[in-house]
Structures are given as C-alpha cells and as structure tokens.
Structure 1
C-alpha cells in the first residue's frame, strides 16, 4: 500500500509539473506586423485586425474560444454528410465559413501604411494561437476579435459586394453569429461520439498536425468538449437568440456570463443590435445603443465637438471598450482591463486614420446640396451637424441625444438593473458609470450608405423605407446582400433578392413580427415629398 501511495504521489507531481509547464494563455498569431517606429494608429489598426485581448486561454476555451481544428473538422463532416457530392477538403470548409458571413480570404483595403498584410488565411477577425494544456501538448485555439464584426465588404459602383476585399471599421452586415454558434454546437454534438472519424477529418484538413497535437485533441480536448456538451440542455448552444446577419445580442451574452436572469429564461431576451460603422463613434459621450456605459463623473449625454475629442476622453472610452471582450470573447473582467493600452491604440486609429469606404457610385452633387439642407432641418438635431463646404462632409458636432422615438423597446428593457448592479463586483466599478436608461441614443451617420438594414435592430431594409414607414416590409431577405443605391440599402424585389443575384453568404428571412425586431417607430422624414427624400438620400451617400 505504501509503494502504491508513493507511486500515485509521484504521478501527481509529474502531472502537476506537466500542467504548470504548459502554455495556458497565448498571444494571437493573427496580428499583422508593424514597422519599427510606427505610431499608435498603426499599432491600433494591427490590433483591430488580430488582437486577442486575453481571449486565447484555457479559461476562454471553456466558454467562447474553440479548438479550431476539431470545430472545423466537425463542420466539414456535417457538410459532407448533408451533401455527399461535396469534397472533404479546405474548399468545403471555406465555403461553410463564408456561409456564416466570415470574410475569407480578405485583403484589408484601408490598412494604414506601415502595417503588413494579414499573416494567415483564417477568416478575418478570427484570432488564434497554440495553447499547451500540458507541457509539450499543443492545441490550436481560436476566438473572435474586433474585425469579425467590424470589418465589412467593399462595394463596386453597381452596389455588388466584394467579400475578398474588406474595410476595417465598417460593419460586417452579413455575419451570422447565431447560425455559426448553432452549427458548431450541432456538429460537435453529432461527431464527438465518433472520435476516430472526427480525428481522421482533422488530418484530412490539416495533414501538418503533429502527433502531440493529435494526442492532445483526442485525449484532452475531446473529453472537455464532451463534458461541456453534457452540461448544455436541449438543442441550443445558448439559451438566448444571438441575432440575424449583421447583428449581435451582447446584453443577453453578458447576462449569461454573469449568471443574471434572462428575460423568459432566455428565449424572450432577444434585444439584438445591428453592428454599426465606427466612424466618429468616439464622439459618443456614452456607449452601447442605450447609452448604458459612460465615463464616471461626466455628463452621460453631453454634446460633443472636435474640442471635446481629447486623448483623455478616448482613453476613458477605450477602457470601457475593453469590457466588451467579456461577453464577446469570454475574457474575465480582471483580465479584460489589462488590455486598455491596446484599446487606446485602436481609438487613436479610429480618430486619426479611419473613414468609411467612400461611396463607390455616382453622386449628383446638386441634388446632394439640396439634401444637405434637408438633413440640417430634419436630422441634425439628433444625429449631428456635418460641414459640407469642402469635399466629403465631416461631423462638426454631435448632440448625443437619447430618448424614445417609438422603436422596438426590447433591447432597452433587456438591460436590467440587476445587470447594472453586477458591475460593482468587477474591476470596472470605478471605470464605467453604468445606468439603465430605457431609451436609445441617436448615433452619428458615418458610413450609413453601407450599414443597411436600419434602426437599432436592423428591421428596415433601406433609407427610403425608413422615410416611408407605411411601405416597410413585414419580412425581407438579409445576409450576403448587394446594395440598392437609389433607395440606399438592401437591393430587394418584394422583400427577396433579385433572381440574378447569388449572395456570398447564406441569407435568412428577417421577420419583423418577432420579438426585438419590430419595424415601427422613427417616423422622422415621413412627411417629406418623394423628391426631398431622394435629395436627402443623395446627401447621405457622402457620409
């Protein structure tokens, strides 16, 4: 018995040594190189493309990060079983990832000089690195980064998208996190029970995988996956709806992380928000669509001009922004706040080097001048004043207006007082002034021409429909869309894509009768004549 005890003790010591000798957190390999001597804007752009914010760790692997090779092998098995004519190769994998709206391969068109091209062929915005759960046992893990949501396709002069060329800072209006999450869940649930077949597919897709990683995947990661799946009841990866293409549900995700009760235990917590363009978002005096996060000891909804856009304010907003990694990447708050320097560089990039893609179509300058005057009368009191004297209009003041314009209230209601109270138990209690506003902020309109669909929940397909409430469709197709430059938004025929157009990702039908997707409200501009609506749209193309 004594010898057995000694042997067990020795094994425990060896196991502990292997565990503590592992790499349990790694930096992202998706960050482009920056030239020596480059400034904060260049570092910020590189971080925007590939930084992990602490999201590549064993802790994140238990929630948001994924074992990339196992997950993608399961997705390909699912695709091949669904359609046996599809080859079991990387092309099928890339096609499956593109169906969720990921951009791959994607060259970043607006990368500042001094920043190298992206270093790998994973989807844009997917961060990745190699962990070692125990010493010498590598596992490639992946997570989401900024550019997954905030890098959009570029557009040609006919409104057709080019998903091979991206523009960081613009919204990915086709990214379907709900479909992606559910597909991973269903595929792993189906194939983790046939580990030999799953591992064979890993080697088919990634023949360079060494024997140590194969053993780690088979005997360490797969049991972790099995245990995690066992803890998830029912047929959903998450208890809440994670959005439609181009939207997210960050509040429900945060409640899930903090174990705060979800509306209706989850299904009713469908307060989704469209991914915005980031132009002049640093002029906001509060963050989130309802202005729930503000800088402490400042006015929550303060009018902003260039004089107020100080480095100190941007640094304070950058600190708040690091908290977004908690619900989106599974980073623990104590770890998330360590990324403030990286987020501050990103804000420098957004302030000094970012503008949306210029409108690629033809603009009637005379009509746009007429539209500028209409905008000043109808829109500027909420969405800000633009200087139109020289070239592209530039924002000169933002009211940071917050209120109720009759739009779907679910998202505002979803930010509960109980959720606000949880911040007191995090390192952010002195860094974020959290309040339940029960209203919505009117944002700046930079890049609005490429940000369809509209309203905070993406329930209106074009600006013309926004200005014509009685014509807003009950349902419409969304995801992988092309643009209608006349109405400014999704190009549709009776709510569906033109028969000669093939979307680059898998579209869905958005049903405005569903909770959180109500299309009414924001009736401003409804009394304008059709010529005035056309002129206003022409002006908005310039933003």
Structure 2
C-alpha cells in the first residue's frame, strides 16, 4: 500500500511501494526474515564515531569560510546577519543550509560534517541521512532540508571574495547539479561517475568522459536498514559493509584506503543495523488505528510486510518485493538512469565481493522498484523515491497531490501526517533568493513526477482514514 515512500542506504537512495487491493507484477528480491540480528553495541558506537569524526573525503571549506558566508547572502538576510553575533550567524547558516547540531552533544558541531581541530569541514553520510524529525535532530532521518547546491554556490562565492582556493565540490558543482530542490540529491549520478573511474579492484583508471541522466532523489531513512537484505531503490545490490564505502571513491582515496578502513565500515554497518524508527508521540485513536491495521493487512502487507505488535518485538515480516514499473506507475527516471553496465560494474567490483564466503548477488536488469518497510513512515516525509508527495494523506489521495508546493513550517502537519505545505501555481523564477526558489517542489520537472501508486483509489474514504491512523503507529 504506500509504495514509494522511501528506502535505505548511506549515499544513494532507494524507494517504496504499496499494493492496495490489486495484485501487481511482483518479483521476489530475497528472503525477508522474522527476527533481528544481534548487534554489538560497542561496534555500533564506534560506527557513529567513525561517521562523525573520521574524514573519508577531502575537506570542503573551513570554519572561517562558513563564518563569512553571510556576506554572500541576498538581502534582507545579509543585513540581518551583519547585525547579528557570530553565534547567531552560525545558527542562521545552519537553518539556511539544512544543518543540525548533534543530539546530546554541546560541542556545536554539525551532525552532517566532520569538523577537525584545524576547523576543516568534511561532508559525511549524515549530510543526507541525518536530518530532523519535524525540528528534532535525528541521526538516520532523511535530511529533507539539506541545501547542498545553494550552500556550495555561496561557499564558492565567499572563497572567491577572500581569495581562497576552491575545493573539488566547488568545481564539481559547476558541471554536476547537486540537487535542484532542497532536500533532494543527485547521488545516483555521483555513484556512477565515481565507479566509472575504477577497475574491479578499485585501482584508478583512465576513462573517457561519460554522460549521465541527472535526476534528484529523496534520501531514505536508515532505521529500516536492519530489515532490508538488499539496497537501493531497485534492490539490485545485496547489502554489505563494503557497499557502504562506494561514495568515498574520490581520486585521493586509492585502493589501500579501502583495505585500511574496512573495519571502520564494518562498524558503520553495525551502527546502521542498530537504528530503529522514532516513536510517534502525538495522539492516536486506538480503535481507528486497529481498523487501519486490518485494512493494511488485507491490502498492503503483501508488499510492505507486517509490524511488531509491541515496541522491540520480533513478530514482524518483510517480503522485500520488487514491483514492476508498469504496475507502480511512479516516476521511472531513476530506474532507467542507471544502466545495466553500471550495475554490472558494481557486481564485478570489490564492493560486491566480501570474500569467498561472502559473495553477493547483484541484479543487473531490475524491472521496477522495491517496496520498503514502513517503520517510522510518519517521520520520513516527503514521500515517494523522489520526494514529490508531502504527506501520507496525499499518498492516499492521488488526485489531490499538489503540482507545485513549498513547505511552510518546521512542525508536522498532524492531520495529514507529513510536511506543512501550501500549493502554488509555479516556482517564483523572479525571486532573488535562490534558496527560496529551490524550496519549491515542481512535480512537472524531469524526474520529479508525483504520479503513480494509485492503489489507494481502491479504498473507501473511511478505510483511508483508518490506514492513515495506523501508519502513525509503525
């Protein structure tokens, strides 16, 4: 039933899907198991420290640059910053770019970047997978406010004014879009580009320039990682700790880097496996939610699984099913953008071969998207693999999905369960602040369609209301 809500994985993105009342073309991707693997808490703790303290990429900018970036902001924001304190300016920068502080950490450091003693800022996986749940910083939550393209442009402008050298990110953003809408990422193309410059053993090779289909994706939550045997929206790659390292393939990281840091990513794998969805703390109509559970079981569970009857319970199931694109009908760009050759390159690489006893399966020609678990689905808006649908109510009401929308508040829309948004006629192209323009989601643009997943039309309005209430409890 709620397909295309969101999938998993550190650097790229996956997806979700549902089947309401009809039997779609479905492929078994792997065996979903009941029960949970035991995670070493010490390894999980090391994994978190590795993500937040170990720079595995080159630095993007320094604290000095960030403290001066306000001078590249448009008016009236620039004047507000000019009259603010340093601390206030930093808070303004965090808010503008979708950064958060780290929970239970008074250092002031961002969750999304490693900041070393010299003040160098280096992006980590939390940049996309460490956002906030309606204002509460939450590691593992999709960062639906991350403004990487806007931040990179304004950081680059600040460096130019100060005569500072540009980073790889500064230059790359001139040619490769980092995300045309705040909260989305062009991560799939990053992965393809990085893989194309390596052989199967991860040695650097000379390759001719390659053209890619640029498209935005919505980062999935990490708290469903423990359930998923395969990763990515199309479920083409069996998960393993090595696969988490793919997005560190910058030229500076030679083959030895991967051998030396493999244990670190084993710990990261343990950390991801330890995460669980946050619990909905608002009011729930128990009787209505129970009615929704029955409807969900009849129409949705065959793709999205069943859920534990109590917190921490192991009586859940996850079928891990791929649904043909012709059945789900959601935006097909992600499926067609990653060619068979790209998946095959991954299949032959070190990432997909964890040793003689850990050979991994790779599906090189999937025909659709994989329905994800819906744990914590209330906390991971917006929905569909491209982030085109702002609330679960809109998922359940296909004809009512807004064509162009913008978020209006940080707080949750309690009634519709998701983002508070307003529908507008078009993106204001004459708006001088690019951050405001990029805060609009235009579903008419390439790769951003909100169509498909029409299964909820098979439900009555009463059944939809009950299912919406039930989804709060997952």
Query: TM-score per shorter chain, which class?
Result: 0.7 to 0.9
3-state SS, counterpart of residue 492 of structure 1:
strand
Q: Which residue, 138, 144, 150 being the options, matches 1:167?
A: 138
* Pairing 1:512–2:453 present: no
Aligned counterparts of 1:263 and 1:538: Cα–Cα separation in 2: 50
Aligned counterparts of 1:330 and 1:538: Cα–Cα separation in 2: 49
Specify whether residues 228 and 386 from structure 1 end up closer, same or farther in structure 2 by C-alpha distance, changes over 3 A only.
closer
Shift of 1:488: 1.3
Matched residue, 1:269: 214
Shift of 1:452: 1.0
Matched residue, 1:213: none
* Pairing 1:452–2:381 present: yes
3-state SS, counterpart of residue 244 of structure 1:
coil
* Pairing 1:184–2:140 present: no
* Pairing 1:250–2:167 present: no
Matched residue, 1:523: 454
Contact 1:323–1:336 (CA under 8 A) maintained in structure 2: no
Aligned counterparts of 1:263 and 1:366: Cα–Cα separation in 2: 59
Contact 1:49–1:146 (CA under 8 A) maintained in structure 2: no
Matched residue, 2:372: 443
Aligned counterparts of 1:262 and 1:417: Cα–Cα separation in 2: 18
Shift of 1:52: 5.8
Aligned counterparts of 2:179 and 2:457: Cα–Cα separation in 1: 31
Aligned counterparts of 1:350 and 1:380: Cα–Cα separation in 2: 24
Shift of 1:142: 2.0
Deviations 1:377-422 (A, max 9, x none): 111111111233x458866111111122111111111112332344
Aligned counterparts of 2:67 and 2:441: Cα–Cα separation in 1: 30
Alignment of 1:207-222 (within 5 A): 222=164
Q: Which residue, 55, 60, 63 being the options, matches 1:66?
A: 60
Q: Which residue, 204, 223, 231 being the options, matches 1:287?
A: 231
Larger relative contact order, structure 1 or 2 (CA cutoff 8 Å, min sep 6): 2
3-state SS, counterpart of residue 514 of structure 1:
coil
Deviations 1:6-43 (A, max 9, x none): xxxxxxxxxxxxxxxxxxxxxxxxxxxxxxxxx93244
Aligned counterparts of 1:86 and 1:340: Cα–Cα separation in 2: 43
Contact 1:78–1:187 (CA under 8 A) maintained in structure 2: yes
Deviations 1:129-159 (A, max 9, x none): 25xxxxxxxx5422122333323324xxxxx
Matched residue, 1:464: 393
Bigger fraction of residues in helix: 1
Between Structure 1 and Structure 2, how many residues are aligned? 405
3-state SS, counterpart of residue 114 of structure 2:
strand
Q: Which residue, 372, 397, 410 being the options, matches 2:317?
A: 397
Specify whether residues 274 and 348 from structure 1 end up closer, same or farther in structure 2 by C-alpha distance, changes over 3 A only.
same
Contact 2:50–2:268 (CA under 8 A) maintained in structure 1: no
3-state SS, counterpart of residue 402 of structure 2:
coil
3-state SS, counterpart of residue 477 of structure 1:
strand
Aligned counterparts of 1:382 and 1:283: Cα–Cα separation in 2: 13
Specify whether residues 129 and 380 from structure 1 end up closer, same or farther in structure 2 by C-alpha distance, changes over 3 A only.
same
* Pairing 1:120–2:90 present: no
* Pairing 1:344–2:266 present: yes
Specify whether residues 370 and 330 from structure 1 end up closer, same or farther in structure 2 by C-alpha distance, changes over 3 A only.
farther
The answer for unaligned runs of 5 or more in structure 1 is: 1-38, 109-116, 131-138, 155-160, 196-221, 296-316, 497-504
Matched residue, 1:151: 130
Aligned counterparts of 1:346 and 1:228: Cα–Cα separation in 2: 24
Larger Cα-atom Rg:
1
Contact 1:171–1:451 (CA under 8 A) maintained in structure 2: yes
3-state SS, counterpart of residue 483 of structure 1:
strand
Specify whether residues 349 and 55 from structure 1 end up closer, same or farther in structure 2 by C-alpha distance, changes over 3 A only.
closer
Shift of 1:479: 8.0
Shift of 1:438: 4.4
Aligned counterparts of 2:458 and 2:80: Cα–Cα separation in 1: 54
Matched residue, 2:405: 476
Aligned counterparts of 2:267 and 2:471: Cα–Cα separation in 1: 29
Shift of 1:451: 0.9
Aligned counterparts of 2:420 and 2:228: Cα–Cα separation in 1: 31
Matched residue, 1:78: 72
Deviations 1:518-543 (A, max 9, x none): 11111122221111111101110011
3-state SS, counterpart of residue 405 of structure 2:
strand
Deviations 1:203-252 (A, max 9, x none): xxxxxxxxxxxxxxxxxxx4x538997x66xxx43423525333322211
Aligned counterparts of 2:287 and 2:209: Cα–Cα separation in 1: 50
Contact 1:245–1:508 (CA under 8 A) maintained in structure 2: yes
Q: TM-score, normalised by structure 1?
A: 0.66
Aligned counterparts of 1:169 and 1:45: Cα–Cα separation in 2: 14
Q: Which residue, 284, 287, 294 being the options, matches 1:373?
A: 294
Contact 1:245–1:479 (CA under 8 A) maintained in structure 2: no
Specify whether residues 177 and 351 from structure 1 end up closer, same or farther in structure 2 by C-alpha distance, changes over 3 A only.
same
Matched residue, 2:33: none
Deviations 1:107-150 (A, max 9, x none): x2xxxxxxxx43731211311225xxxxxxxx542212233332
Shift of 1:487: 1.4
3-state SS, counterpart of residue 116 of structure 2:
strand
Contact 1:318–1:347 (CA under 8 A) maintained in structure 2: yes
Deviations 1:451-492 (A, max 9, x none): 111111111111111111111110111486322122111123
Specify whether residues 495 and 532 from structure 1 end up closer, same or farther in structure 2 by C-alpha distance, changes over 3 A only.
farther
Q: TM-score, normalised by structure 2?
A: 0.75
Matched residue, 1:309: none
Alignment of 1:94-113 (within 5 A): 94-104=91-101, 106=102, 108=103
